[in-house]
Amino acid sequence: MTLASMTGFARASGAHGDLRWAWELKSVNSKGLDLRFRLPPGRDVLEPQIRQAVTKALSRGNVTINLTIQREGAAPQIRVNEEVLAAVVATSRELAKKIEAQPPTLDGILAIKGVMEVIETEESEAEREAANAALLKGFEAALKDLVAMRGRKAV
């Protein structure tokens, strides 16, 4: 029986329309198969298909699956989430009554998760499905490379 390494790395990148994407898969030793996902918002729908593909290809290892996406040509819009901002301001005012501290600064408030939102250009359902299909095809290429790297013998 040939033993395969559980350590490996693979990267695949590509494009679909105005999307530029890159998959990075990292694998290290582990007793079982442990998958960790870092997918951009809105692309978590890909997780079940990715999980299924990885469990077919690998039986062990701690695998980190990272997807980065950039949209070219369309500048993202920045928006302040008014409800979150109001809650943050109200909470800071309540705390100011209880403790002595410097008042919050604008940059500090805007840095709180959820106060600022980046709004990407909306995709139609057909565009999203086509982009997801291209992303999955790219993932399959990265997974194939990871499996090949794990199967190589060390020199």
Which CATH number, 3.30.230, 3.40.390, 3.30.1490, 3.30.1340, labels domain 8-75+121-148? Answer: 3.30.230
Q: What pLDDT digit, counting tens, does each position of 85-114 carry?
A: 999 999 999 998 899 888 889 998 888 888
Q: Identify the H or E element spanning 148.
A: helix 125-151
Instruction: Write the pLDDT tens digit of every residue in 120-147.
Output: 667 788 988 999 999 999 999 999 999 9
Q: Report the 10 Å Cβ neighbour count for 53.
A: 15
The model's pTM is 0.67
> What integer pLDDT is reported at residue 75 of this predicted model?
66
Q: What's the sign of the alpha-carbon dihedral 56, 57, 60, 66?
A: negative
Question: What is the model's pLDDT at position 155?
Answer: 46
Residue pair 155/43 in contact (Cβ under 8 Å)? The answer is no
As given in the structure block, the two tokens for residue 63 are 């695998």
Domain(s) of CATH 3.30.230: residues in the chain: 8-75+121-148
Mean pLDDT calculated for residue range 42-62: 93
**The two structure tokens encoding residue 152:** 């190589």
